Structure 1
């Protein structure tokens, strides 16, 4: 027995919005056997664009029951039936969450008529409910009302049952819960071709335009995580294709992601922009001649020693270096006290904070906090990292703190000179975000993976 479901809601996200109308059409595998329809009071305003789309306004809902009042009745009607909907994840996520609020765990077997239509009726230009019904000769009454759309979906489902000569419906029901979480426009074949490898992946819309860029150590697992649980419905419905570029190197994937977001500026990366460089470590001499440090937001006119994408990163570097170089935490801006720092009392500070250590001796140690990192102008080096397979390694060229080029060197190439290695690398446009990413990542790299190039041609 099948329950073909359609809902109208106050918006597109089940976590934030509520159901205002639900309809269920029952099908026994051969014919429609009945239906259920209810308006539901969401106890919140109905956006004007929803009223414009559905015709449902607040006045129509004021005397309607809320979901809690119909939950038991609806549970009895749906229990034991296969849940069917057009873009099933949308309707199911709302209903599952509504049942959860009533302390009921609703996890039926599910079928998506979008996905099934793509398999059983291939080659159509559009698989929206309206276009599909038009192409199949199905009349839709009361479009964008729950019963009208559910009834049309039930008629479409009846045609799918009759035309399913290859057993697609049975295959979808047989242990294919993973597929039910996938975007409706992504096929099993596309999903199965995704690699379990490190790289950058791209989501494309129906016109091929990139709408999201991400990086992952395991692209297939990362794709799964996008669409498990409460995924973004609008992103899910717009994805029509996936592409990717393997990097092998996690660092290179991180840098390439930043460059591609800056180059393509995808629609769904706008709320997840690569962090801008907004924090810095500043240095100044106090009245006694001691070198002091301060973590602060960057402001025009004063150049920081080092730049960071977050206060946390900047603070951690200063804190780590203060401990490593045995600097005074008060002069590093870590401790606020009017007298000697707390570390002096514990014997971990030589006393610059109370005049026990001379400015000259202290400043000589303090200079090591930024030596080699404060000015990256003219600094060139290579980073060797994991390749896309065992026969190669990734090589990154860093100039002035930016990623300047990258490529892959086959172990059999036997490059004898640095110049030969550089010939294999592909130049890239300097992107400021790569500077910040490299700066935070370099402290984690083993020394033998970095090859200085200063003084070399």
Structure 2
């Protein structure tokens, strides 16, 4: 039996978002046999861009059950079935994490209809669900709603079953298609000793040289990912050893990865070596006097408010600031609508987009959005998760660049903050650390940031 799953969520990352709708369509290998569908209360507001995409708003979820309330029922329905989804890692990671939140273990066998479609229906220009269904003559009802997408995926899966002449599906089920194959010079003992914790890891060649540096929330799981399916970096024959440094803090892992790549220049980090600042957030006044924000490619001579290495990073940063300062997503280029933005319809926007809020009041909030841009001489500490329950990581930033870091006891008194600074390990200033801080700073509360005197 197969369980074809689709979910809608409050955002794209399972670590910081929740499921707001889940649908499961059951398939016995011959036909669809039934379905299950639930709206779920995530315990937080639904972002406007999610409402714009799915039509699901916070009001629709007020009386809906939480995931915890349906966990037993859902787990029983999924028990013993193969978990199938289009881009299965996305749906599975969310569902697995929701089960973990209620202390339930969920480890099904999994199949990805994207990967299977590439093998069984080769040569297509796109393997997105919409384009696949269009090419296969599958009608999608209620696109970007869980049941509509799950039902379409189930029909697609049925076609995959019928067209599978090379037994790709059964091979994937039995052995994940031999998706995890350790490099020939890495023993199973070396692999088993890798930690399931956050940090930076290093791949070494036969002479001990570092040939790749990576960052991971779970180092052991990330190691597996390098050799699952068609890896983009063919490291297998060159890896002879793996080492790592735990950080506890995800931000510190990202920062350390950037600094180590700059220091070591590993041969297989070429794409990260040339990581460039190419996107920026800009501000301007429109003809009605409203301060607007816009994401654009950086051009010479025009300095952005903040800069990023990708459009996605800039989009995420601006989206977070819009929510934090109650700004209009339409005036910031996040939503494209003819009339009022979606957020106004649900009371989250004050109406700057439709003449309900004057520009003076709106601009007062807009002016504060980038008021915390890093200033000359500015120094501050960020306290973050440590490597154990007894410590915390402390990161010193100067003008937005990482200047030093270390670990201190959780019971440490910050009344004598210079003593903390003196305990930290100084590091060389690296431009990428400023970019990483820009995209991460909004995740920290004021309790975790300690401002220091300039100098």
Partners of 1:198 and 1:344 in 2: how far apart? 39
Q: Which has the larger Rg?
A: 1
Structure 1, residues 122-151: CA drift from partner, whole Å, max 9, x if none?
A: xxxxxxxxxxxxxxxxxxxxxxxxxxxxxx
* Structure 2 counterpart SS, 1:235: coil
* Structure 1 counterpart SS, 2:251: helix
Count of matched residue positions in the alignment of Structure 1 and Structure 2: 289
Q: State whether structure 2 residue 410 is matched by structure 1 residue 442.
A: no
Q: Where in structure 2 are the equivalents of 1:272-291 lying within 5 Å?
A: 275-291=275-291
* Structure 2 counterpart SS, 1:303: coil
Q: State whether structure 2 residue 206 is matched by structure 1 residue 206.
A: yes
Correspondence for 2:12: none
Partners of 1:434 and 1:323 in 2: how far apart? 25
Correspondence for 1:313: 313
Partners of 1:240 and 1:106 in 2: how far apart? 29
State the 1:283 CA deviation.
1.1
Q: Which runs of 5+ in 1 are unaligned?
A: 1-99, 111-177
Q: State whether structure 2 residue 259 is matched by structure 1 residue 195.
A: no
Q: 1:288/1:212 Cα in 2 relative to 1: closer, same or farther (>3 Å)?
A: same
Partners of 1:350 and 1:106 in 2: how far apart? 55
State the 1:287 CA deviation.
4.4
Correspondence for 2:227: 227
Partners of 1:287 and 1:444 in 2: how far apart? 34
State the 1:438 CA deviation.
1.5
Correspondence for 2:381: 382
Q: Is the 8 A contact 2:279 2:308 kept in 1?
A: yes
* Structure 2 counterpart SS, 1:268: coil
* Structure 1 counterpart SS, 2:284: strand
Q: Is the 8 A contact 2:203 2:241 kept in 1?
A: yes
Q: Where in structure 2 are the equivalents of 1:106-255 lying within 5 Å?
A: 181-231=181-231, 234-255=234-255
Q: Is the 8 A contact 1:395 1:409 kept in 2?
A: yes
Partners of 2:328 and 2:221 in 1: how far apart? 46
Q: Which runs of 5+ in 2 are unaligned?
A: 1-163
Q: 1:191/1:366 Cα in 2 relative to 1: closer, same or farther (>3 Å)?
A: closer
Correspondence for 1:263: 263
State the 1:205 CA deviation.
1.1
State the 1:362 CA deviation.
3.2
Q: Is the 8 A contact 1:278 1:308 kept in 2?
A: yes
Partners of 2:180 and 2:329 in 1: how far apart? 55
Partners of 1:344 and 1:412 in 2: how far apart? 45
Q: State whether structure 2 residue 167 is matched by structure 1 residue 103.
A: yes
State the 1:252 CA deviation.
0.9
Greater mean deviation of Cα atoms: 282-291 or 246-255: 282-291
Q: Is the 8 A contact 2:258 2:433 kept in 1?
A: yes
Q: State whether structure 2 residue 392 is matched by structure 1 residue 393.
A: yes
Correspondence for 1:302: 302
Partners of 2:214 and 2:436 in 1: how far apart? 15
Q: Is the 8 A contact 1:377 1:401 kept in 2?
A: no
Q: Where in structure 2 are the equivalents of 1:78-93 lying within 5 Å?
A: none
Q: 1:268/1:421 Cα in 2 relative to 1: closer, same or farther (>3 Å)?
A: same
Q: Is the 8 A contact 1:405 1:426 kept in 2?
A: yes
Q: 1:303/1:244 Cα in 2 relative to 1: closer, same or farther (>3 Å)?
A: same
Q: Is the 8 A contact 1:179 1:188 kept in 2?
A: no
Partners of 1:319 and 1:415 in 2: how far apart? 33
Q: 1:430/1:355 Cα in 2 relative to 1: closer, same or farther (>3 Å)?
A: same
Q: 1:251/1:180 Cα in 2 relative to 1: closer, same or farther (>3 Å)?
A: closer
* Structure 2 counterpart SS, 1:383: strand
Correspondence for 1:429: 428
Q: Is the 8 A contact 2:179 2:229 kept in 1?
A: no
Structure 1, residues 189-228: CA drift from partner, whole Å, max 9, x if none?
A: 4334433332111001122221111112232232233234
State the 1:397 CA deviation.
0.7
Q: 1:106/1:380 Cα in 2 relative to 1: closer, same or farther (>3 Å)?
A: same
* Structure 2 counterpart SS, 1:371: coil
* Structure 2 counterpart SS, 1:378: coil
* Structure 2 counterpart SS, 1:225: helix
Correspondence for 1:67: none
Partners of 1:329 and 1:416 in 2: how far apart? 41
Q: 1:204/1:349 Cα in 2 relative to 1: closer, same or farther (>3 Å)?
A: closer
TM-score normalised over the length of structure 2: 0.54
Partners of 1:274 and 1:265 in 2: how far apart? 11
TM-score normalised over the length of structure 1: 0.54
State the 1:240 CA deviation.
1.3
